[in-house]
Amino acid sequence: MPKILDGAAIAAAIKLEVAEEVKALSARGIRPGLAAVLVGDVAASQIYVRNKVQSCSDLGLYSDLITPPATVTTEEMLALVAALNAREDIDGILIQLPLPAQVDAKALLDAIDPAKDVDGFHPVNAGRVQAGRPALAPCTPAGVIEILKRSGIAISGKHAVVVGRSDIVGKPAAMLLLHENATVTICHSKTADLGAITRQADILVAAIGRPGFITAEMVKPGATIIDVGINRITDRVEFDRFFAGNEKREAAFAKRGSTLVGDVHPQAFEVAGAYTPVPGGVGPLTIAMLMANTVRAAKLRRGI
């Protein structure tokens, strides 16, 4: 039986460590602070930000939720970022994506002080990650590394294949794996004979944003699968393609009218030696690493 890598348990352990760091900083008169900027009324974004703010409260961090209207302009948002950059009580700035069409998201993210870029999206932090220098790494790729290390999965000397080349997950995940001495191959939608490459992977990271795209035939027996994808399925035909005969999923689908599937077909997990489930795998690590990054930013800014 393949080993299930419990992201929720690992995230809980990281949060406990963060809470201890917050206590230690508090004893020195320092309370790490996170500003969360939520534009408009996107329901999913509201849930994500609410969970992040609640995590701050649970762990003892200060948080400031700022909610500009959906009509906000790029200029108004740039002024807000400038004000947050100048605030001494704010160590991390989080701008929840997506933003309204009239807002230049790239200009906004580039305007954040790299020292407060707890999402790790700023080009300066991307460069530092690539160079292997102290940096605020993107939360999801950093979480991938934590899952592997804390689950006792060897990285050094292994062949890691990353499917997906986004700036948010694919590229930084490849860099972090490289710094852990893996041999890394990056694949994407234009890769010829993708399965021939994924079948070579000791560690297969799926971050391509397509439900069930990685099938059992594309996985090396005994490989570790890290499924970063989170795709909501509402169509009955799609549900049957992934979960036919799964009574637990069937009951949940009947109740909610939807279920989640990653970028890996569930049948592929049967071939693996270890894997992250969806939900409960990589997802919980994202908020945990955001909290860790906020504390790290507070320490780096003060030379601690």
| Contact status, residue 267 vs residue 286, Cβ threshold 8 Å | no
pLDDT higher than threshold 90 for residue 130: yes
Of the candidates 278, 286, 77, the residue with the CA atom closest to the CA atom of residue 168 = 286
Pairwise CA distance, residues 234 & 62, whole Å: 38
pLDDT higher than threshold 90 for residue 205: yes
Q: What are the boundaries of each domain within the chain?
A: 29-113, 139-285
Summarize the confidence of residues 242-266 as an average pLDDT: 92
Share of the chain above pLDDT 70, in %: 100
- Domains 29-113 and 139-285 are alike in CATH topology: yes
More confident of the two residues 41 and 69 = 69
Fold designation for 139-285: Rossmann fold (3.40.50)
For residue 92, what are the β-bridge partners?
34
Residue 106 annotated to the active site: no
pLDDT higher than threshold 90 for residue 301: yes
pLDDT higher than threshold 90 for residue 81: yes
pLDDT higher than threshold 90 for residue 41: no
Strands (E) in the chain, as ranges, are 3-4, 33-37, 62-66, 92-95, 159-163, 183-187, 203-206, 224-227, 231-233, 259-261, 274-275
Look up the pTM and report it.
0.94
pLDDT higher than threshold 90 for residue 261: yes
Which member of 96, 116, 158, 171 is catalytic?
A: 96
Give 82-113 as a DSSP string: HHHHH-TT--EEEEPSPPPTTS-HHHHHHHS-
Which member of 15, 52, 116, 171 is catalytic?
A: 52
Pairwise CA distance, residues 112 & 267, whole Å: 42
| Contact status, residue 268 vs residue 214, Cβ threshold 8 Å | yes
Summarize the confidence of residues 273-291 as an average pLDDT: 96
* pLDDT-derived band at 289, boundaries 50, 70, 90: very high
Cis peptide leading into residue 279 (ω within 30°): yes
Q: φ and ψ at 183, to 5 degrees?
A: -90, 120
Cα-Cα end-to-end distance for the chain: 44
Pairwise CA distance, residues 94 & 139, whole Å: 12
Which member of 117, 119, 227, 263 is catalytic?
A: 119
Of the candidates 52, 280, 302, the residue with the CA atom closest to the CA atom of residue 147 = 280
* pLDDT-derived band at 272, boundaries 50, 70, 90: very high
Pairwise CA distance, residues 3 & 74, whole Å: 47
pLDDT for residue 284: 94
Over the chain, what is the mean pLDDT?
95
Summarize the confidence of residues 127-149 as an average pLDDT: 95
pLDDT for residue 47: 86
* pLDDT-derived band at 45, boundaries 50, 70, 90: confident
CATH class of this structure's domain 29-113:
alpha beta
pLDDT for residue 189: 87
Summarize the confidence of residues 194-220 as an average pLDDT: 97
Q: Please tell me what DSSP assigns to residue 132.
A: T
| Contact status, residue 4 vs residue 151, Cβ threshold 8 Å | no
